[in-house]
Amino acid sequence: TRIICGHLHRPVATTVAGVPTSVGLSTVHHVALNLDPSATIELIRDPAGYQLHHFDGAGWVSHTRYIDTGQEAFIPSWAHEA
């Protein structure tokens, strides 16, 4: 029902033979986005991360979590409003 793999140092989502396909992001550096086939490969320090995939028997849910961004989770002010 789905092809999930990783990683290529660049997160990608597409279809292969009509099947939804995703490649996970890297936990270290990434390949810079350059769609020119003749371009030299360059690396970029985009946020590292990982993906969690859950299959409940009926369908898939995939979550992407970035790490080492220097940001902490917080409760927004509007969440306290009644």
Q: What is the pLDDT of residues 13-63, one digit of tens each?
A: 999 999 999 998 888 888 999 999 999 999 999 888 899 999 999 988 999
CB 49 within 8 A of CB 25: yes
Q: What pLDDT sits at residue 69?
A: 83
Model confidence at 82: pLDDT above 80:
no
Cα–Cα distance list, 57 to 1, 60, 61 (Å): 11, 8, 11
Q: What pLDDT sits at residue 32?
A: 93
CB 12 within 8 A of CB 24: no
Q: What pLDDT sits at residue 34?
A: 94
What letter does residue 7 receive in the DSSP assignment? -
CB 31 within 8 A of CB 12: no
Token pair 């992001």: residue: 25
